[in-house]
Amino acid sequence: MKPKLSSYLTFENQFYSIELTQLNGETLYYGIQLRKKKNQVELEDCFTYSNIKDTSKYIPKNKATFLIINNQFVITKRIENSEADHLKLLNLAFPNIKVDDFYYEILQQEHIHFIAICRRSHLDAILNDFKSKNICIVDFSLGNLMIASLTGYISEHKIHTNNACIICDDGQITDIQLTSTSNSVYDCNTVKIENKDVLNFSGALSLVTKTKNTRSYFDNTQEDLVRNYKEKQFFIQFLKIGLVTLFCALLLNFFVFNNYHKKIDELRETTQVLNSSKSKVVHLNETVQKAQKTVEDILRANNSKSSYYTNVLIKDLPEQIRLSEFNYQPLLKKIKEKKPIENELNTILVSGSIYERTSFSDWIISLEQINWIASVEIIKFEDVSKSSSVFSIKINIKHDTKN
């Protein structure tokens, strides 16, 4: 019962998806609306428009929506490889890519993989544009990769979308060919879907099932979208409930007030109890403030120590080395409620990239000569290209007990 209620309060029973694509040089928006009834999904509506301002005509304000970016700004490549690491697959497909500038999504299969990328600046601008129109995007996908969710339900060997022909074999995608397509209708588990709507159907269905066959690497963007949407829905739903509750409470209070004048003495006794409770709360608040001050003092001490170590390590850092992480006394376990925080004391974890092996060796030697360093352990050293490598080292500190 609780999961059903939570799902209803989050998405209600309506699920939307929009595909942003381009046909014959014209930007088009294809949309779909699904409705969940009991354990079935029904196709409610399909629509097409050419201006983002018209989105509100088809999708009500603040409704959860899946977005598919399938225009000329998305590049998809096919890789035949048994590699499982997503970064290595990305580098195989796009050797010179600057990862921080792109969102990317990977469809990993047994031997054939598809990698789609899109510039962050372009996709962020689209998300902000929808946000300004009060359209709540909660998840998104790149290119034609979302079709992978439907290959097990559509029997055809070839599945056409708005701009591509998807070649399937035994439930897996073997090729994605960008081409102009003709109108087709597919039977997906008794639901009839036109080829222009198959990607949107897969996107909206992922909101229903809360699953995706692809692996998305969008940093925290997708999580932020869901969190913002849930916060907004929480406010809307509980504002309604709160207003109704308040109205009922006021109405009930009106009748109770007229019928229970004789209980004024009980209310006075209640006031005394509340005053007593208030005194206890004030006492507890003082205790909490003292504990908070103690924690803040500890944190200030750690920050001072961390700054000192950072300055010493950065001061003589070779130019060929770029640091990406400096973690002083890292956590041993995830922070959990009502559980003590456990740190790996007397330890610094450092990660980064290097463009010359000799500089890295010299740097390690110089670190070991610092008087407060007990030892340096190389945890990771991997080549990402012929000229660069990534590394992680663990620095053990001598008797650092002032925490």
Q: What is the pLDDT of residue 4?
A: 41
Per-residue model confidence (pLDDT) at position 78: 94
Average pLDDT of span 37-44: 86
The CB density around residue 218, as the number of other CB atoms within 10 Å, is: 19
Helix axes 221-259, 2-11, angle to 10 degrees: 100
| Per-residue pLDDT band at 161 (split at 50, 70, 90) | very high
| Predicted local confidence at residue 141, as pLDDT | 95
What is the model's pTM? 0.58
Average pLDDT, stretch 207-216?
89
What confidence tier does 94 reach under pLDDT thresholds 50, 70, 90?
very high
The answer as to CATH 3.60.20.10 being correct for domain 301-397 is no
Lowest mean pLDDT among 3-12, 18-27, 77-86: 3-12
pLDDT of residue 273: 80
Is 170's pLDDT higher than 80? Answer: yes
pLDDT tens figures, 130-149: 999 999 999 999 999 999 98
Does residue 297 surpass a pLDDT of 70?
no
Instruction: Specify the pLDDT at position 23.
Output: 85
What's the one-letter identity of residue 361?
Answer: S
Q: What is the mean pLDDT of the chain?
A: 84
Confidence of residue 334 (pLDDT cuts 50, 70, 90): confident
Residue 69's pLDDT is 96
How does 163-199 read in b/e, with b if 16+ C-beta sit within 10 Å?
bbbbebeeeebbebeeeebeeeebebeeeebebbbbb
Among the residue ranges 109-123, 182-196, 287-301, the one predicted with the least confidence is: 287-301
Q: Using 50, 70 and 90 to split pLDDT, how confident is the model at 124?
A: very high
Which CATH fold would you assign to the domain 2-219?
Nucleotidyltransferase; domain 5 (3.30.420)
Of 8, 31, 3, 4, residue with least CA distance to 233:
8
| pLDDT for position 220 | 85
Taking alpha carbons only, the member of 8, 17, 19, 12 closest to residue 59 is 17
pLDDT category of residue 245 using cuts at 50, 70 and 90: confident
pLDDT: which is higher, 390 or 386: 390
Range with the poorest average pLDDT among 120-129, 172-181, 206-215, 303-312: 303-312
Q: Give pLDDT tens digits for 318-330.
A: 888 888 888 888 8
* pLDDT range class, residue 291, cuts 50, 70, 90: low
Instruction: List the domain boundaries for the chain.
Output: 2-219, 233-284, 301-397
Distance between CA 240 and CA 234 in Å, rounded? 10
The mean pLDDT of 94-113, rounded to a whole number, is 92
